[in-house]
Each structure stands twice: as structure tokens, then as C-alpha cells.
Amino acid sequence: MADTQQKRVTVAIDGPAGSGKSTIAKRLADRLGFTYIDTGAMYRAVALWAMRQGVDFGDMHRTEQLALAAEIDLAPGRIALNGEDITEAIRTQEASNGASKISAVPGVRRAMVAKQRELGERTNAVMEGRDIGTVVFPQAQVKIFLDAALAERVRRRLVDLTAKGEQIDGEELAAQMKERDERDSTRADSPLSQAPDAVYLDSTGMAIEEVVENILKVVRARMTNGREYH
Ligand code: DC
């Protein structure tokens, strides 16, 4: 495999909040034996740190400093910030909105994208986020744009939050998710968008396994010559 020395496979999954990216990406990574990388969790970690430090999400300078200084460790299913396990702490609605705001800061994005490339270059990975196929790994061999109807995405998120004991009204959640999608899709730096070579998949009404199988078909189709991974 002279021409594929150190060649890593990246499966990029982008899409809006609640489209099922995390669930699907995790299962897919398990099936393929790849590393699962949740890039949204990284922005959430920086947002959490800013909240704790009383740093305004719009403060470009201080948020970038936090992003550069943040020691983020991703282990399967866990995330640590500066040595502290923050897996649960980043899953609140406040952290979701904070991550969306802080991720619009170009300096924060630069710092996170550098970390993400470093992680992705080390291993075969399923990486999910908003700009993986467009900015972080535009050369990714497989790109999926995962979508679902807003009502379904809200329903899924409501189930998640309620299971964690967070109380939020469905309409309020819908409004917040709409606002977050709008911000993530219209920001100047790396907005959520479908890469031209990404496969669009609408998961509304689909079972998890069905979505996973569909993506596995795309993976196999793009890897058929057997040179890409082993
Ligand atoms: O995927 P998530 O809901 O955990 O992401 C939280 C926020 O982080 C999301 O609203 C936008 C931002 N984000 C981003 O800008 N780029 C990424 N690659 C991943 C997440």
C-alpha cells in the first residue's frame, strides 16, 4: 500500500441540532471500528468554561484565549475539560445556546478546527458537527448531510432533556432550536451548509438502524476499491 501510507478515512456527518448526528455517528463508528469525534462537544466545553468564568460569548479576545488554553480530552462517550469530566455538564440547554454563540467567534473556530484536524489525522474517524465536510476535512472520503423536520428534531431533543431531568416547554425549546439553527447557518465563519459532494439524508420517521444502514451503504460505495481502509 505504498500510495496509502498513513492514509486515514474520515466520515464527515454534518447537520442541524437534533438531526440524530450523535446517535448515528456513534453507531456508525462502532460498526466500522472507527473513532467517534463529537466536535459540538468541544464548542460546548469552551462555552461552559466561558460561562463559569463570566466571559461574554461575544468577547472575541477572551473567548479565543479560552479556546486556545482549553485542554479538551475526548474519550469514548466522555469529555474532559482541563482534567474535569464535563460530559453531563455540557448537555444543558444553556450550554447548547452558549456553544452556538461562542462558535460564531472566528478565533474560537480556528482553535477548535486545529484540534479537530489533529484528532482526525491520527485515526480513522466518524466526525460530526456543522463544518466537517466543508472546512475541517473537505477531503473526507464520505460526507453525509443529516437532516430531519424541525418538529421531529424538537421532539427528539425534548425526550433527551426530559430524560436528564431538565424542565423545558416544547414551544420554548422549538423557538430556541430554530434560533440556534438560524445562527449556525447564517454566521459569517463556516456556517452550517451541505458540501457539494455530501449525500443528503432526511431521517424524519426513520429508525436509527435504517439511517445507519443507509450511511454504511454510502461508505461501502465510496470505499469499494479497498484501498481506502483495511
Ligand atoms: O452538535 P451540537 O448541538 O452539540 O453543537 C453545539 C453548537 O456548537 C452548535 O449549535 C454549533 C456549534 N458547532 C459548530 O459551530 N461547529 C461544529 N463543527 C460543531 C458544533
CA of 214 to the centre of ligand 1 (A): 24
Q: Closest ligand 1 atom, CA of 18?
A: 3
Q: Which of 13, 63, 88, 100 to mutate to test the pocket of ligand 1 (most atoms within 8 A of CB)?
A: 100
Longest dimension (CA), the chain: 57
Output the pLDDT for position 4: 46
Residue 226 pLDDT > 60, yes or no?
A: no
Residue whose CA is at the smallest distance from ligand 1 atom 9: 100
Name the band, by pLDDT with cuts 50, 70 and 90, for residue 223: confident
How confident is the model over 134-180, as pLDDT tens digits?
999 999 999 999 999 999 999 999 998 899 898 889 999 999 999 99
Q: What angle do CA 170, 208, 115 make, to 5 degrees?
A: 85
Report the amino acid identity of residue 189. Answer: D
Domains in the chain, ordered, with CATH?
9-222 (3.40.50.300)
Q: Closest ligand 1 atom, CA of 116?
A: 18
Which pTM was predicted? 0.94
Name the band, by pLDDT with cuts 50, 70 and 90, for residue 1: very low
Give the long-range contacts of residues 71-75, CB within 8 A, separation 24 or more.
72/42, 72/45, 72/115, 74/37, 74/38, 74/41, 74/42, 74/119
DSSP state of 155: H
CA of 18 to the centre of ligand 1 (A): 11
* Cell numbers at 41, concatenated: 462537544
Percent of the chain with pLDDT over 70: 95
